[in-house]
Amino acid sequence: MQKRESVNQQFLGLLDSVAAHLHSLKEEGASSIVADPETVRRLGSAPIMPAPPPRKEPARQQDHGGTGGSLKDIAAQVAGCTKCPLHKTRTRTVPGQGSATPEIMFIGEGPGYDEDQQGLAFVGRAGQLLTKIIEAMGLTRDEVFIGNIVKCRPPENRKPLPDEMSACLPYLRAQIEQLKPKLIVALGATAVQGLLQIETVGITKLRGQWMSYQGIDLMPTFHPAYLLRNPPAKREVWEDMKAVLAKLGKTPPKRG
């Protein structure tokens, strides 16, 4: 009697494995299998087993190039990142900050000295000018998101290298996916180049012309650091910001 039960157990176990295998084949897209008629006849006389429960798929990360999670998670990943040599010389990582539901996302090149010290994007002189631009648009820094292509300061404020930008880009992509901004303002040619992964012409030619990042309108304009060196270019940036506001159905507030 015990032997018969053991054989039954083995048979049921085998059938269970076959059923699970067929189930997984079906999930992988198989619509038919080749089977020996005699095997099918024998299986037909076997006790009917309940179908195995559907397998639980592990939650999939969204595909944005190798990172995932909430803004906090992304910042935590950035804080521990050693994917490019810039981690060796940074004081603090600068993931970016601002609204979690911004209409506009400003993206610059990389942190400078002040940003590296404070762990915040655009807080130095160029950042203060960016704040003025944002306020002239009738917004506050808390209503937009401000970040950079690379999250660690390049030594001597040099331009980030292509490999450094490529290594860091998944973080920015993940942020954009989370934030879902209506518009992106790319500050300087490096921001355009880093985000779109293209060779760009100079920002003088690019600025003011709408581009697109994964279906999101992108306005290239001058970097505020350039405006500090070349104040007359503020006028062109203001034209670009008016175009950004117009795209959102807004107009800048009247100056008192």
Q: Which residues bind ligand SF4 (CB under 6 A)?
A: 78, 81-84, 86-87, 93, 150-152, 164, 167-168
> What is the smallest separation between the CB atom of 213 and ligand SF4, expressed in angstroms?
18
Helices 162-179, 189-196: crossing angle, 10 deg rounding: 80
Give least dist CB 93 to ligand SF4, A: 6
What is the three-state SS of the chain? CHHHHHHHHHHHHHHHHHHHHHHHHHHCCCCCCCCCHHHHHHHHCCCCCCCCCCCCCCCCCCCCCCCCCCHHHHHHHHHCCCCCHHHHCCCCCCCCEECCCCCEEEEECCCCHHHHHHCCCCCCHHHHHHHHHHHHCCCCHHHCEEEECCCCCCHHHCCCCHHHHHHHHHHHHHHHHHHCCCEEEEECHHHHHHHHCCCCCCHHHHCCCCEEECCEEEEEECCHHHHHHCHHHHHHHHHHHHHHHHHCCCCCCCCC
Nearer to ligand SF4, 87 or 250 (CB): 87
* Residue 102 and residue 181 in contact, taking contact as beta carbons nearer than 8 Å: yes
CA distance linking residue 240 with residue 246, whole number of Å: 10
Kindly tell me which of 93 and 99 has the beta carbon lying closer to ligand SF4.
93
Nearer to ligand SF4, 78 or 241 (CB): 78
Q: Which is nearer to ligand SF4, 41 or 158 (CB)?
A: 158
Q: In this complex, which beta carbon is closest to ligand SF4, that of residue 141 or of residue 151?
A: 151
- Closer of 154 and 220 to ligand SF4 (Cβ): 154
CB of 104 vs ligand SF4, minimal distance in Å: 23
Closest CB to ligand SF4 among residues 11, 113:
113
CB of 119 to ligand SF4, least distance (A): 12
| Least distance in angstroms from the C-beta of 188 to ligand SF4 | 17
Shortest distance (Å) from residue 166 CB to ligand SF4: 9
- The size of the chain, in residues, is 256
Q: How far is the CB of 65 from ligand SF4 (least distance, A)?
A: 12
